[in-house]
Structure 1
Amino acid sequence: MNINNLRLLKAARLHGTPSYLYDGEQIIKNYKSLKNALPEFVDVFYALKVNPNVSLVHLLRTKGACTEVCSLTEMEIALKAGSIPEDIIFLGPCKKEYELKRALELNIFALVIESETELERVSNLAKEMGVTANVAIRLNPDFSADGSPWKMGGRPTQFGIDEKHAVENFGTYLQVPNINIRGIHVYNGTSILDAESVFQNTRYILNLYDTITKKYGTKFSMVDVGGGMGIPYFANQTPLDIQKFEDLMKPLFEEFHATYPETRIIMESGRFILGTAGYLAVEVNNIKVNHNKTFVITDGGTNCHSAAAGSGRVVKRNFPMENISADVDAKEFEYQVSGPLCSPDDILGRNIKLKEVNVSDILVVKSSGAYGPTSSPGLFHSHGFPAEILVYNDEMHLIRKKDKPKDMIERQVLVNFNVQTPVLDK
């Protein structure tokens, strides 16, 4: 870790709280550890859904990362960050017509098709625009990703086309006009910490590619094997064994590449690259005892970091947290750390042990680089989104300003009900 507590404190005091701080050196280290564990011909696509801040995307782009986007805004961020259309793929089960048109105008590497209806829609748009659409067919495989707490394939979901149906009908897809099918896409699950699970999942996808290729006698130019590599958040979890990952994945990809040397192999990653490089800093506003529990009230909670608050989880567990204002030899006590919301679920730490906490102390939630602001209800109670700061090459950069009341109010439209308006005919 290149960011020490002194730097975290300085950033929090300078830019206020709540705020996110990102360690640029750690981001690059994480990216390189993944890239080096794969053959050189495998392209890593950074998933913007994890954290779409343009400066973070740009930092990764300078190191060679490609981009996977899920909306028009993410696509425009990728372009602003330096990505080229050839290194962009566009996923998502609900792409609007204006998003599809923009992707076709740019001629991105692949629109990932999630249904036969979408394939027909893209074909018609491409015809209207006088272009050929480069696409990949997303499959929902019969195989389920072991080791993933959030399975996105191998069961009924809104993602992709059933494997059996797609394999049987791929010949029809190949005949759709104004469409160039580059290959297939499968994303089976996320937050996987077991290298063997990633290997088994990837091998299944590559075999599926081989089956379709041989069945229809067609040469494709891409296969996207997803990824889903995670990071440990909780005490009983261990990091992905990157050496075992390398030992398993390199021979697998090299064997595939020897058979299909012209096929671009894509592996997606977001959480693994950004997760351990981010921190949420919050300030203690109040401390009180309620029903024999000591509550620490802070200025950032679910509205800033819904994942750390356990939103969507039945069993809520604590992210790693530290009181960076405390003395080294301070005693530990058990606390309930809450955010500022009028909700009983707005708890960042449950029965968590921290060095003695005082009002105005700064607490940091670690492993917060992924799915922080981008997946949190920042407008709840109209607190707005927190500031974001990047530390890189010993310099501190404000990469997102904290929302102010004026910013949020300006986006709203006031209807003046004091002005008499015509009554519509009934």
Structure 2
Amino acid sequence: MSALHAALRQFPVLDDCLHLGGITLTRLAERVGRTPFYAYERCHIQSRVALLRDLLPPSLQVHYAVKANPMPALVQMLAQLVDGFDVASGGELKTALDAGMAPARISFAGPGKSNAELRSAVAAGVLLHLESEGEMLRVARVGESLGITPRVAVRVNPEFELKYAGMKMAGGARQFGVDAERVPAMLRKLGGLALDFQGFHLFCGAQNLSASAICEAQRLCVDLALQLAEAAPAPMRLLNIGGGFGVPYFPGEKALELPAVAEGLHGLMRTLASASPQTQLVLELGRYLVAEGGVYVCRVLERKLSHGQVFVITDGGLHHHLAASGNFGQVIRKNYPVAVGNRMAAGPREVATVVGPLCTPLDMLADSMELARVEPGDYVVVFQSGAYGLTASPTAFLSHPPPLEVLV
């Protein structure tokens, strides 16, 4: 099954028009009032969380990585569905707190936290993932100045990596976390500071569709954490093993076999229950919860021919959806699932290239892709757009207005 067909299964079609959140795309666009816009379907996201709850061990905590999509309404909805949030900036911390998540269930990761961010996090009572020995000392000083004992976990950079990951974040020299061989010495120093040690955070990579690779990395993370815990100043009460669960974007990609991953996690829970019964295991997911529940919608302004090639020119592009455009040409470009949202039934089709209004050839949403024949006023839809879309894009580029966001 192609990535486009897989995406279309998430959203039904009614009267030749895509159907989102109980309303046709055309009617939704009328209600939004202008294009481009992102639409996130709450029922799909709720169903994804429910599926995880059905398959994963009951005592495993599922946290949402706010960086995947920090839209306030979406974060507020997820606050009622997941066990906690992970944030990576002071702005995300405010979003998480405003959504009603208890500070004790928020963790703060990232290699470059400012002193102001550390102060806000300590004052709020969230868990800080320490990315270096220097950050550990800064957090201790902040806690002393506020008269608060900060809650901390050590982020570990292991020697191993997550195989087949779209983005590797561990193994070798990294800006993330503390090299595993340095952690025991750091823990000894931590024991002499006024810090409340909670446990460890290990995040090896993102966007992985291989269940076997994810299971192997998770097992290695638990084994390493149990080994490092022997040098800890207090029992390991929490172990965040990240996530890395991917979603299919491109032709030939297959969805992650979640039951296989769940089976591995059941085994890890049994291991922890025996070796470290006080440890709470945390799975941190972002993209996997929200990516497939979102679409990006733009309007066709014009169609034109150039040397026999059809160009569909829209009011959206890389400034709103950098990933779909190919990330400024820094990767081998592949087409995201794209369709003409108001022409979903059988009809004339053509090979066309969908571009935006920007003055750069990199502003491309689909390259030589078979689509329904497009006319001005039609809606081009980019699927798999619920994660790392708007806030991961250069919205100020060429000073076009930002897109709207709606939760339907």
TM-score, normalised by the number of residues in structure 1: 0.88
Q: Pick the aligned partner of 1:165 from 176, 182, 186.
A: 182
Residue 282 of structure 1 pairs with residue 309 of structure 2: no
In the alignment, the residues of structure 2 paired with residue 155 and residue 216 of structure 1 have an alpha-carbon distance, to the nearest angstrom, of 23
Cα displacement (A) at 1:331: 2.1
> Within 2, Cα distance between the matches of 1:62 and 1:216?
33
**Counterparts of 1:3 and 1:278 in 2: how far apart (Å)?**
14
Which range is displaced more, 52-61 or 34-43?
Answer: 34-43
Q: Deviations over 1:362-416 (max 9, x none)?
A: 110001000111101111111132111111xxxxxxxxxxxxxxxxxxxxxxxxx
Whether 1:266 and 2:278 are equivalent positions in the alignment is: no
Deviations 1:299-345 (A, max 9, x none): 00001100110105421000001112226221221111001111110
Counterpart contact for 1:308–1:348, Cα < 8 Å = yes
Aligned to 1:42: 60
Equivalent position of 1:119 in the other structure: 136
CA distance in 2 between partners of 1:270 and 1:337 (Å): 28
Post-superposition Cα deviations, 1:177-199, rounded to whole Å, max 9, x if no partner, equal 12122111111100011111111
| Offset of residue 201 of structure 1 | 0.8
CA contact (8 A) 1:92 1:114 kept: yes
**CA–CA separation in structure 2 for the residues paired with 1:236 and 1:154:** 28
* 2:123 alignment counterpart: 105
**TM-score normalised to the size of structure 2?**
0.92
Instruction: Indicate the residue corresponding to 2:146 in structure 1.
Output: 129
> Aligned residues, how many?
389
Query: Is 1:74 the equivalent of 2:74?
Result: no
Equivalent positions of 1:287-298 (< 5 A) are 287-298=303-314
Partner of 2:384: 367
Distance 1:327 1:3 in 2: 10
Quote how far apart the aligned CAs of 1:259 are. 2.6
Are the aligned partners of 2:302 and 2:313 in contact in 1 as well (CA < 8 Å)?
yes
Cα pair 2:208 2:244 within 8 Å, conserved: yes
**Contact 1:295/1:335, CA 8 A, preserved across alignment:** yes
The aligned counterpart of 1:401 is none
Out of 254, 264, 269, which is 1:248 matched to? Answer: 264
CA distance in 2, matches of 1:253, 1:39: 8
Could you tell me which of 60, 63, 69 is aligned with 1:51? 69
The structure with the larger Rg is: 1
Q: 2:255 aligns with which of 199, 217, 239?
A: 239
One-letter amino acid of the structure 1 residue matched with residue 47 of structure 2: K
Instruction: Indicate the residue corresponding to 1:424 in structure 2.
Output: none
Query: Does the 8 A contact of 1:147 with 1:192 survive in 2?
Result: yes
Partner of residue 26 from structure 1, selected from 44, 64, 67: 44
Does the 8 Å CA contact 1:8/1:21 hold for their aligned counterparts? no
What residue in structure 2 maps to residue 406 of structure 1?
none
Letter in 2 for 1:145: L
Three-state SS of the structure 1 residue aligned to 2:304 is strand
- Alpha-carbon distance, 1:220 to partner: 1.6
Amino acid paired to 1:83:
M
One-letter code aligned to 1:128 = S
Instruction: Give the alignment of 1:327-338 within 5 angstroms.
Output: 328-338=345-355
Question: Structure 2 stretches of 5 or more lacking a match?
Answer: 1-9
Measured in 2, the distance between the counterparts of 1:41 and 1:115 equals: 30
Asked if the contact 1:339–1:348 (Cα under 8 Å) also holds between the matched residues in 2, the reply is yes
Task: Return the alpha-carbon distance in structure 2 between the equivalents of residues 291 and 213 of structure 1.
Answer: 65
Indicate yes or no: 2:199 matched with 1:183.
yes
